[in-house]
A = this chain, B = another copy of it.
Amino acid sequence: MEDQEIRKAGLKVTVPRVKILELLETSPERHVSAEDVYKMLLAAGEEIGLATVYRVLTQFEAAGLVEKHHFEDGYSVFELNKGKHHDHIICVTCGRVEEFVDETIEKRQRIIAEELGFQISEHELVIYGKCLDKNCDCKKRGD
């Protein structure tokens, strides 16, 4: 199954690559750091080096299988590329990440780029805030 995607990317089908792709497909949290992936694999009994995790994620990104984001925390997070673009809103208290798409915003960006004489290659929009979810730590701790 994921073997084909890996092969299509011009990469050899190896245990680390298959396991990492599987993990990205099944992880309850879509947005994970390299360290997260490394630890989850360890916890699952897979002995895969952190350097390999970084290398594989980078290759997956180059192949378009994965997307990398820089939520302001000092490290990168990766997610499986679902094909459809979306932006993110993140709870600064509990870290919960929600995805959204807003065609109005997308369109305005195209207009702005045009007006300023830029040919857009990509963009990143991240909203930070506190989520009002009852399960969020915001509520439990009342801050």
Residues of A within 8 A of B (CB): 70, 72, 89, 91-92, 98, 100, 102, 104-105, 108-109, 112-113, 116-133
Contact = CB atoms under 8 A, between A and B. Distances in A.
Nearest to A136: B117
| Copies of this chain in the oligomer | 2
**Main DSSP-derived SS at the A contact region:** strand
B128 A123 contact: yes
A102 B108 CA distance: 8
Contact of A132 (B100, B112, B118, B124): B118
Given A70-B72, A72-B70, A105-B105, A121 B112 contact: no
Given A102-B112, A105-B105, A108-B104, A129 B125 contact: no
A91 B129 CA distance: 28
